[in-house]
Structure 1
Amino acid sequence: MALTDEAIAKIRGMIQSGELPPGTRLPPEHQLAAQIGLSRSGVREAVKVLESARVLDVRRGDGTYVTSLAPRLLLEGLGVAVELLRDDTLLEVMEVRRMLEPVATGTAALRMSEQDLDELARILEDMRGAADDAEKLVRFDAEFHRTVIAATGNETLASLLDGLSSRTLRARVWRGLIEGNSAHTTIEEHHAIYLALRSRDQLLAQASALMHVNTSEAWLRTVLAAPTAGRPRDDDPDAEPDR
């Protein structure tokens, strides 16, 4: 394992220094091993780890290449990690969202195109038409916020927030909202965000988003505090309650 870690560090150093820029094909395994002064087995394991991290792309029969190293690629695993977090840590995730999402929404108010705003209006209509359907609301909710955050033009921020807003987390909140007859209220919070964005009011957009995240966090706390017996699994909106 120590040799693998050393090989990872050396390959990563070659990438960071520009010796292996994005899109570059790595030397053959034996050559790379000799170049960094480690065994072929250590290099082989390091490549597997870096492939999993989306740093390297192993193309069978062609070779191993450095990926684009784009934020959306490197941060892709964040969503998987969030799905595995325990309940108390999910509340920490919501706290991070509360720090980032309102500011991002305020920035989007200054940068959104008219086409983006029209797209948000369409999504809002879809949400209103699916007010009692948790599965559809989860999808439309994610689509709404991705459209807003993407308008910031900051790919790192968009990838980070997308990873923090896992599907399971959204499903838990929307189920709680529907069961509490509060889905319509939360849809109107989306409408308030849309109106602030449409008016290009940065502070109002930020405040509207903060209120919305606070509402989502409050409902998540309610859901996490509720007994789980007889409730469907969080990762399966169509699952039957336990019997």
Structure 2
Amino acid sequence: MSRPMSRTDEVVDGVKRMILDGRLRPGDRLPVEKELAAELGVSRGSLREGVRALSILGVLDTRQGDGTYVTSLDPERLLAPMGFVIDLHGESDAESFHAVRRLLETEAAALAARSIDESGLAEARRLLDTAAGALHEEPLDHERLLETDIAFHRAIATAAGNPVLAALVETLASRTVRARLWRSRTDDDVVRRTHSEHEAILDALAAGDPDRARLRMAMHLIGVEDFVHSAGSTGAGGTGHPSQGG
């Protein structure tokens, strides 16, 4: 038996219907509190709770002294709360999350190989050149390498041309998740191998070869999954397998 809908749920559902019906569009300002509460048949207190919930979900944006507006409703913003779930559970069930990430990113690489333009290739090249420079520093600047790693994978997901896919990749490969991997590195040679794998992915993109791009990305991320599995078997910072960037 389903649970009765709470007043807060009624507000969330009511505002969602207004958006789906086209009565509220991205950037629109919500009716004043008294009018909207009356239309939805809830108290003003319940309305405020519902608005807070929708703000957390990225649907509404309350501006002090100006009112409440519908956001852009772009996928990246709406999927952002999922990142909170991944940050909470990503360590205890890391293998499952990384497996899903691999499925998405391999297809993103294949799509990107078909559609990436010169500016996209130039940006990916710039990022790998930045990483190459960091690899020659002593000691290695792991924070800089982490940032370029994140940016490189983001550039590929964006080049795939599907904003929902890009948002999912961004969420599953969040900075928090990546930082856990990079913090546990024990072998700088693996960092350099990661860079070589990135170069192979970029070569496939530049060649416009979807199958090779998919394969190169899969090989790269399987290495990440192997490390995650090994780390889970030996404990955090275990030595069953050298660490892996992602």
Which runs of 5 or more residues in structure 1 are unaligned? Answer: 231-243
Greater mean alpha carbon deviation, residues 67-76 or residues 138-147: 67-76
Quick one: distance in 1 between partners of 2:217 and 2:180?
19
2:35 equivalent in structure 1:
31
Q: Describe the shift of the 1:85–1:191 C-alpha distance in structure 2 as closer, same or farther (beyond 3 A).
A: same
Match 1:130 to one of 131, 134, 156: 134
1:49 equivalent in structure 2:
53
SS of aligned partner of 1:64 = strand
The answer (yes or no) to whether the contact 2:184–2:237 under 8 Å persists in 1 is no
The answer (yes or no) to whether the contact 2:10–2:40 under 8 Å persists in 1 is no
Match 2:105 to one of 93, 101, 107: 101
Greater mean alpha carbon deviation, residues 60-69 or residues 72-81: 72-81
Match 2:159 to one of 128, 148, 151: 151
Q: Describe the shift of the 1:228–1:218 C-alpha distance in structure 2 as closer, same or farther (beyond 3 A).
A: closer
Match 2:189 to one of 181, 186, 204: 181
Amino acid of the structure 2 residue aligned with 1:24:
D
Greater mean alpha carbon deviation, residues 134-143 or residues 175-184: 175-184
1:80 lines up with 2:88 in the alignment: no
The answer (yes or no) to whether the contact 1:173–1:223 under 8 Å persists in 2 is no
Which runs of 5 or more residues in structure 2 are unaligned? Answer: 239-246
The answer (yes or no) to whether the contact 1:134–1:171 under 8 Å persists in 2 is no
1:167 lines up with 2:192 in the alignment: no
1:16 equivalent in structure 2:
20
Quick one: distance in 2 between partners of 1:172 and 1:89?
13
Quick one: distance in 1 between partners of 2:75 and 2:65?
27
1:110 equivalent in structure 2:
114
Q: Matched residues, percent identical?
A: 40
Amino acid of the structure 1 residue aligned with 2:77:
L
> Normalization by structure 1: what TM-score?
0.88
2:68 equivalent in structure 1:
64
SS of aligned partner of 1:182 = helix
The answer (yes or no) to whether the contact 2:121–2:206 under 8 Å persists in 1 is yes
Give the aligned length.
231
SS of aligned partner of 2:39 = helix
Question: Alignment RMSD, CA only?
Answer: 2.1
Q: Describe the shift of the 1:134–1:219 C-alpha distance in structure 2 as closer, same or farther (beyond 3 A).
A: farther
The answer (yes or no) to whether the contact 2:95–2:229 under 8 Å persists in 1 is yes
The answer (yes or no) to whether the contact 1:3–1:38 under 8 Å persists in 2 is yes
The answer (yes or no) to whether the contact 1:189–1:212 under 8 Å persists in 2 is yes
Quick one: distance in 2 between partners of 1:97 and 1:221?
15
Residues 171-207 of structure 1, C-alpha deviations (whole Å, 9 max, x = no match): 2333445536311111111011010011111100011
